[in-house]
């Protein structure tokens, strides 16, 4: 596919001095959908965006602008995190030291430049099936990519969409955008052209960096994206391909000075209850990786990290790219989608010390009957994305001799906010609060609950997003006074361990009594013939809400006999209101791209039957 040439620009009023002099354009894709004017004087307004006034949603602008004024200057002094590799600064000029005061910084310095400046440039950074890339080589490639993006017309604050498989090119495009002060917007490669087109329109991306094998169906709709000025194709071998442009660019590029409140990247949520939203993240958010990566996992430059999730997920971005590069470790990036046999071969060759996956894939690995010494190099396995059943935890530790550290993070936080600790994990628990994070459980009226009482988890953490792009109402619901409402229901025990009880919007009442789906699922999963289970509340033929169960059977389990046994099991162990009205066997559960069960799809099946 050839380069999409840059579209001619029309003259637009210039935003000078932070004061908008142009009327709002209803067609502008970055306008505040919830209403309200642009943010006067905000740095995003002064982004030199080709003379185009920058619009920022009012609620998001308020959060981004917090603490902007310091000593009368119209910028905030950067708050560099102390400790770890990021504490070393290669040069005052690059780090934005002005008159003895740190005013601005760029997150790429802590993940790349600092390692090269401190003698770690020759160490492996990224390992793929094809090659190993050192920190010095990665820094050079990031600088080359930054030049390519600038040559494509990308300016500070503008969005660069990434539609790439995992690999060195993904990392170079991501950090290349950050290097020049632009905003990286990774897209889920498992979605389709319609979803990608919607995200391109929502993000207002000016440039798309896409893999030649993924762009096919999307190409026909690119003409409908008026703000998209250029597509840079990776892997097509042409003279204008990403690789050719990188080869002609310089491998040095000073990092654009930005403060830690400047937008760095967006991640689209997986949409367990409907449409995806873009969670905005800032340069300062990336540096908070040390709280989980260093303080909890103890990651060092001697670690080798492998994750089965992909980099457009927060789970993999945080644990398979940001944490290893911050710690000076090496990470294995694989363009292939994870399969038990492929992962087992990768583990044997790469010998990871930290392994990240999700409960569903851990269950698949157990069913694959791998050798007991498969994970002998791994000092800790990590799980997130959904609740880790105690049965999987116990079976994994028995089979492979390695504990699984269950934890909780989110697209809105990037990194874990709850986690078990190495050597002190508890089956069935999501662990304790990660250093640097505050947590509280609130009831439906917003009041704190006591230990042993279910409540919705709210967290205050340095990596939290300030809000969703152009989703003012969703931002107001999820982010309140510096706290992020996760929507997950937990119970905290007397030792400070948190136990997951489902999502706040999953809990339902039957005959006036609350039913927590995970309680019923726990009983169903206790049956040896059940691989997966999900329970939802839905209206029956009489319009009354009842519990309905969906079960994926293990190999060899027989249908009618299994459902009869499960009905007997739930009747024995559960009170009447919690017992499923019907138990349906399915080949698979509907899941988001991150592996979370889409319960609203299951409710639709019941109510549409």
Predicted local confidence at residue 63, as pLDDT: 52
User: Strand pairing partners for 408?
Assistant: 418
Q: pLDDT category, 273, cuts 50, 70, 90? A: very low
| Total Cβ atoms within 10 A of residue 506 | 24
432 domain residue, yes or no: yes
The arithmetic mean of pLDDT across residues 247-271, rounded, is 93
Predicted local confidence at residue 596, as pLDDT: 81
Predicted local confidence at residue 8, as pLDDT: 32
Structure token pair of residue 104: 């601005």
Q: Are residue 443 and residue 586 in the same domain, yes or no?
A: no
| Final residue belonging to a domain, choices 239, 255, 279 | 279
**pTM tops 0.85, yes or no:** no
Q: Are residue 68 and residue 212 in the same domain, yes or no?
A: yes
Q: How far is CA 514 from the centre of its chain?
A: 31
The arithmetic mean of pLDDT across residues 199-210, rounded, is 95
397 domain residue, yes or no: yes
Q: Are residue 476 and residue 534 in the same domain, yes or no?
A: no
The arithmetic mean of pLDDT across residues 11-24, rounded, is 28
d(CA 351, CA 365): 17
Q: Are residue 357 and residue 477 in the same domain, yes or no?
A: yes
Q: How far is CA 553 from the centre of its chain?
A: 30
| Final residue belonging to a domain, choices 475, 503, 531 | 503
Question: Is the C-alpha dihedral spanning 483, 487, 491, 496 positive or negative?
Answer: negative
DSSP secondary structure string for all residues of 305-371: EEESS-TTSHHHIIIIIIHHHHHT-EEE--SSPP-HHHHHHHHHHH--SEEEE-HHHHHHHHHTT--
pLDDT at 274 over 50: no
d(CA 362, CA 396): 8
Predicted local confidence at residue 62, as pLDDT: 53
d(CA 40, CA 55): 10
Q: How many residues does the chain have?
A: 609
Q: Are residue 495 and residue 600 in the same domain, yes or no?
A: no
pLDDT at 471 over 90: yes
Q: pLDDT category, 223, cuts 50, 70, 90? A: low
Q: How far is CA 442 from the centre of its chain?
A: 25
171 domain residue, yes or no: yes
Q: Are residue 342 and residue 474 in the same domain, yes or no?
A: yes
Write out pLDDT tens, residues 305-359: 999 999 999 999 999 999 999 999 999 999 999 999 999 999 999 999 999 999 8
> Are β-strands 418-419 and 124-127 bridged in parallel, bridged antiparallel, or unpaired?
unpaired
Write out pLDDT tens, residues 490-521: 999 999 999 988 788 788 878 657 788 988 99
Mean of the per-residue pLDDT values of the chain: 82
Angle, in degrees to the nearest 10, between helices 359-367 and 390-400:
50
d(CA 31, CA 216): 29
7 domain residue, yes or no: no
Q: How far is CA 457 from CA 151, 488, 536, in A?
A: 45, 6, 21
d(CA 147, CA 176): 8
35 domain residue, yes or no: no
13 domain residue, yes or no: no
pLDDT at 557 over 90: no
Q: Are residue 212 and residue 176 in the same domain, yes or no?
A: yes
Write out pLDDT tens, residues 473-496: 999 999 999 999 999 999 999 999
Q: Are residue 400 and residue 306 in the same domain, yes or no?
A: yes
127 domain residue, yes or no: yes
> Are β-strands 483-492 and 455-460 bridged in parallel, bridged antiparallel, or unpaired?
antiparallel
CATH number of the domain where residue 190 is located: 3.40.50.12780
CATH number of the domain where residue 540 is located: 3.30.300.30
Predicted local confidence at residue 543, as pLDDT: 66
d(CA 9, CA 211): 26
Predicted local confidence at residue 542, as pLDDT: 64
d(CA 283, CA 296): 22
Residue, of 28 and 153, whose pLDDT is higher: 153
Q: Are residue 187 and residue 315 in the same domain, yes or no?
A: no
Three-state secondary structure of 198-221? HHHHHHCCCEEEEECCCCHHHHCC
The arithmetic mean of pLDDT across residues 11-30, rounded, is 28
Q: How far is CA 401 from CA 375, 389, 394, 461, in A?
A: 8, 17, 10, 33
Residues 6+ apart with CB under 8 A from 511: 576, 577
Q: Are residue 530 and residue 468 in the same domain, yes or no?
A: no
- What's the first-to-final CA gap in the chain, in angstroms? 45
Number of domains in the chain: 3
Residue, of 271 and 190, whose pLDDT is higher: 190
Q: Are residue 156 and residue 200 in the same domain, yes or no?
A: yes
| Total Cβ atoms within 10 A of residue 426 | 18
Predicted local confidence at residue 444, as pLDDT: 85
Please report where in the chains the tokens 């046994």 appear, as a residue.
565
Q: pLDDT category, 538, cuts 50, 70, 90? A: confident
| Final residue belonging to a domain, choices 279, 309, 331 | 279
Residue, of 425 and 68, whose pLDDT is higher: 425
Q: Are residue 554 and residue 475 in the same domain, yes or no?
A: no
Weakest mean pLDDT among 7-16, 143-152, 153-162, 406-415: 7-16
Q: Which domain holds residue 590?
A: 508-607
Q: How far is CA 5 from the centre of its chain?
A: 32
d(CA 256, CA 96): 9
Nearest to 581 by CA among 572, 573, 591, 571: 571
pLDDT at 18 over 80: no
**Residue 420 dihedral angles phi and psi, to the nearest 5°:** -75, 160
| Total Cβ atoms within 10 A of residue 431 | 23
User: Which DSSP letter does residue 113 get?
Assistant: I
Predicted local confidence at residue 51, as pLDDT: 37
31 domain residue, yes or no: no
């Amino acid at each position: 596919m050839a380069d999409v040439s840059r579209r001619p620009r029309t003259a637009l009023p210039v935003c000078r001095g932070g004061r908008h002099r142009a009327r709002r354009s209803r067609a502008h894709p970055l306008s505040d959908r919830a209403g309200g004017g642009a943010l006067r004087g905000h740095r995003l307004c002064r982004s030199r965006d080709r003379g185009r006034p920058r619009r920022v949603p009012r609620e998001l602008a308020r959060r981004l602008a917090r603490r902007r004024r310091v000593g009368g200057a119209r910028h905030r002094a950067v708050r560099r995190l102390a400790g770890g590799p990021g504490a070393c600064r290669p040069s005052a000029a690059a780090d934005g030291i002005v008159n003895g005061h740190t005013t601005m910084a760029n997150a790429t310095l802590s993940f790349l430049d600092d390692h090269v400046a401190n003698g770690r440039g020759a160490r492996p950074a990224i390992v793929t099936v094809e090659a190993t890339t050192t920190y010095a080589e990665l820094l050079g490639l990031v600088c080359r990519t930054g030049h390519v993006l600038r040559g494509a017309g990308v300016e500070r604050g503008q969005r660069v969409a990434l539609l790439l498989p995992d690999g060195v090119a993904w990392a170079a495009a991501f950090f290349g955008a950050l290097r020049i002060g632009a905003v990286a917007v990774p897209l889920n490669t498992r979605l389709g052209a319609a979803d990608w087109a919607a995200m391109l329109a929502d993000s207002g991306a000016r440039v798309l960096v896409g893999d030649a094998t993924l762009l096919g169906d999307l190409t026909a709709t690119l003409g409908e994206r008026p703000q998209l000025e250029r597509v840079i194709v990776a892997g097509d071998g042409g003279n204008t391909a990403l690789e050719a442009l990188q080869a002609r660019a310089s491998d040095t590029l000073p990092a654009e000075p930005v403060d830690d409140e400047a937008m760095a990247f967006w991640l689209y949520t997986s949409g367990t209850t409907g449409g995806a939203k873009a969670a905005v993240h800032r340069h300062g958010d990336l540096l908070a990786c040390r709280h989980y990566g260093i303080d909890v996992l103890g990651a060092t430059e001697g670690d080798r990290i492998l994750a089965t999730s992909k980099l457009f997920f927060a789970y993999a971005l945080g644990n398979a790219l940001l944490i290893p590069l911050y710690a000076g470790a090496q990470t294995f990036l694989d363009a292939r989608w994870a399969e038990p046999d492929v992962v087992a071969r990768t583990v044997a060759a790469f010998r990871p010390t930290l392994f990240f996956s999700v409960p569903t894939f851990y269950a698949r690995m157990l069913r694959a009957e791998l050798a007991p010494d498969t994970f002998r190099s791994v000092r800790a396995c990590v799980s997130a994305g959904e609740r880790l059943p105690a049965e999987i935890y116990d079976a994994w530790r028995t089979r492979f001799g390695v504990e699984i550290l269950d934890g909780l993070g989110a697209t809105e936080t990037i990194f874990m906010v709850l986690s078990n600790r190495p050597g002190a994990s508890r089956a069935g628990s999501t662990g304790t609060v990660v250093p640097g994070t505050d947590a509280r459980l609130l009831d439906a009226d917003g009041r704190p609950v006591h230990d042993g009482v279910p409540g919705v988890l709210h967290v205050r953490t340095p990596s939290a997003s300030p809000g969703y792009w152009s989703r003012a109402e969703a931002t107001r619901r999820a982010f309140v006074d510096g706290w992020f409402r996760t929507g997950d229901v937990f119970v905290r025990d007397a030792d400070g361990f948190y136990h997951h009880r489902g999502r706040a919007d999953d809990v339902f009442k039957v005959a006036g009594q609350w039913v927590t789906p995970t309680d019923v699922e726990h009983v169903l999963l206790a049956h040896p013939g059940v691989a997966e289970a999900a329970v939802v509340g839905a209206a029956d033929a009489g319009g009354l809400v009842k519990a309905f169960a969906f079960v994926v059977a293990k190999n060899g389990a027989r249908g009618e006999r299994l459902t009869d046994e499960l009905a007997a099991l739930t009747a024995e162990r559960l009170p009447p209101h919690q017992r499923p009205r019907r138990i349906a066997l399915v080949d698979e559960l509907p899941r988001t791209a991150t592996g979370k069960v889409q319960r609203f799809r299951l409710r639709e099946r019941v109510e549409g039957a």
